[in-house]
Structure 1
Amino acid sequence: QERTWQLGEMAVLGVVLGLLVACIAVAAKESVLNMCMDAKHHKTQPGPEGALHGQCTPWKDNACCTAQTSTEAHKDQSYLYSFNWHHCGVMPEKCRQHFIQDTCLYECSPNLGPWIHQHSSSWRRQRILHVPLCKEDCEQWWEDCKDARTCKENWHKSWNWTAGTNRCPRGSRCRPFWSVFPRPADLCEKIWSNSYKYTQEHRGGGRCIQMWFDPAHGNPNVAVAKYYAQNGADSSPVLWALLLPPALLAL
């Protein structure tokens, strides 16, 4: 009889734990729809920023960046990361605009939660990985930058920083983007260590993140984040680590 009671208690405990995990799963999915990553210049929580500058203004109603960050994002060499776009000669303006937009998306968007991962570095504890970019955004980025010049495929690492800004490493040479990145996918995926993923999904389809959008029609990335949070595709394991108690993670 005691064995029967123990089995019954275990069954009840299993049901309770199952319901608890289900509730936490729902909370986890909801939490990623409006969050800022733990990184160098991001706010702790997203919120309105009516004075966002230039290409960052689409996020003014709900942003993870401050107005000062948005202004610095437009400078050729800002205090944000001391990064110089013109390391191989002057970057064409139409190409530079894509990198500004890329910076605005990274710094300001509260809709990247499904792709946030834990990361250990001196300037951030989290990063984005495999964010699905819309086909048009990626291909236009490549088209407008194909004749710009660079000396590196991965811009996250291995620069010469002895002068306080990024310089080409010894032994490298400046080449056109089309030589360093033969395809749009090469540019979008490799330049920031797979932060982005090239997709065949189209703008407005609700399945890819748009770098460019008209805020007058709302932020299309809200629906995209919701879709991936609910379907779990490429979603981030960091959410469970943040939300589940250690005892449940061990089960």
Structure 2
Amino acid sequence: MGFTLVVIIALFTVANRMVVQATDLTCVIGPHHKSSPSPEPNITADTACSRYSSLSCCTANTSHSIDQQNARELYNRHWDDCGGLTTECERYLKAEMCFFSCDPYVGQWKTSEMLSLLDVPVCASSCDKWFDACKDVPVCAQNWITDFKEDNITGRFHCVNNTCRTFAQRYQNGKGMCETVWGDEFRYVADNDNCMLIDFTGDNPNANVKKDISAAHSFELWQSSLSSLLAFLSYILLQF
């Protein structure tokens, strides 16, 4: 009976190790990101990134640039190559850029590459609101990472294919948009307690979202856990 109990406890320990969550705050690797988040009281309440003033991965200068210049000053990209943006679409594009630049909790999904994320679980409601805000706005790129090319002379990014089509024509819905516009950086997930919100008011709800890395590292975790379990059981058996 005692041996069985020991085995059960060991197996329970292995199972627990399979769910690992990232807790350390970190920022996306980029020229306009801090190395780690800190308060930014100079991000004023009337700016696009104001929701991140209490804890931010971006500086007040970056916030100001997003608010006043969209993506032009920071990354030399122009959202309005196909014509003017609607007020609501521009507001949401700014919210998304603030989310990427300033949110202190999105860094859990950063990669080792510059300005890169992978599989951030974005709430369906955020994707759908973004899509609805921009569905009638024309855009010349499908994937905003691969479908822009830098001009060697001006440094400005232009669409490789200059065909302008609306968000609705390109993406059909919020899911198609979120899982295409930035390649594989965002993942559209049903609203729950563990998905990220792009646009919100009040305290940052993303503080409660933790990356479950069990899927990404399941093989390594099983390997490590199994080795530990076998070593433990070998020790127990040697006692008999």
User: TM-score when scaled to structure 2?
Assistant: 0.74
| Secondary structure of residue in 2 paired with 1:133 | strand
Alpha carbons of structure 1 residues 233 and 80: separation in structure 2 relative to 1, 3 Å: farther
Match 2:138 to one of 149, 155, 159: 149
| Matched letter for residue 223 of structure 1 | N
Give the corresponding residue for 2:196: 209
**Contact 2:70–2:94 (CA under 8 A) maintained in structure 1:** no
Q: Are residues 1:111 and 2:96 paired? A: no
CA–CA distance in structure 2, aligned partners of residues 151 and 87 of structure 1: 7
More deviation, 86-95/171-180? 171-180
| Matched letter for residue 111 of structure 2 | H
- How far residue 185 of structure 1 moved from its aligned partner, in angstroms, is 1.0
**Contact 1:115–1:236 (CA under 8 A) maintained in structure 2:** no
- How far residue 199 of structure 1 moved from its aligned partner, in angstroms, is 1.0
Give the corresponding residue for 2:206: 221
RMSD, matched Cα: 2.5
CA–CA distance in structure 2, aligned partners of residues 144 and 160 of structure 1: 26
CA–CA distance in structure 2, aligned partners of residues 150 and 236 of structure 1: 37
Give the corresponding residue for 2:127: 138
**Contact 1:155–1:192 (CA under 8 A) maintained in structure 2:** yes
Alpha carbons of structure 1 residues 214 and 234: separation in structure 2 relative to 1, 3 Å: farther
Alpha carbons of structure 1 residues 175 and 29: separation in structure 2 relative to 1, 3 Å: closer
Give the corresponding residue for 2:31: 40
- How far residue 220 of structure 1 moved from its aligned partner, in angstroms, is 0.8
More deviation, 64-73/44-53? 44-53
| Matched letter for residue 220 of structure 1 | P
- How far residue 190 of structure 1 moved from its aligned partner, in angstroms, is 0.7
Count of residues paired in the alignment? 198
Alpha carbons of structure 1 residues 77 and 62: separation in structure 2 relative to 1, 3 Å: closer
Matches within 5 A, 1:82-231: 82-119=76-113, 124=114, 127-162=116-151, 163-169=154-160, 172-201=162-191, 205-215=192-202, 218-225=203-210, 228=211, 231=212
CA–CA distance in structure 1, aligned partners of residues 216 and 55 of structure 2: 22
CA–CA distance in structure 1, aligned partners of residues 117 and 216 of structure 2: 10
Give the corresponding residue for 2:72: 78
Unaligned runs of 5+ in 1: 1-21, 241-251
CA–CA distance in structure 2, aligned partners of residues 235 and 92 of structure 1: 39
**Contact 2:122–2:198 (CA under 8 A) maintained in structure 1:** yes
Give the corresponding residue for 1:232: 213
Give the corresponding residue for 1:61: 54
Runs of 4+ aligned residues of structure 1 deviating over 4 Å after TM superposition are 233-237
Alpha carbons of structure 1 residues 35 and 149: separation in structure 2 relative to 1, 3 Å: same
CA–CA distance in structure 2, aligned partners of residues 164 and 190 of structure 1: 24
| Matched letter for residue 193 of structure 1 | G
**Contact 1:113–1:236 (CA under 8 A) maintained in structure 2:** no
**Contact 2:28–2:110 (CA under 8 A) maintained in structure 1:** yes
- How far residue 152 of structure 1 moved from its aligned partner, in angstroms, is 1.3
CA–CA distance in structure 1, aligned partners of residues 131 and 70 of structure 2: 20
Unaligned runs of 5+ in 2: 1-16, 222-240
CA–CA distance in structure 1, aligned partners of residues 196 and 118 of structure 2: 13
Q: Which digits, 9 at most, give the CA deviation of each residue in 1:3-30, with x for residues without a partner?
A: xxxxxxxxxxxxxxxxxxx8xx98x833
Alpha carbons of structure 1 residues 114 and 44: separation in structure 2 relative to 1, 3 Å: closer
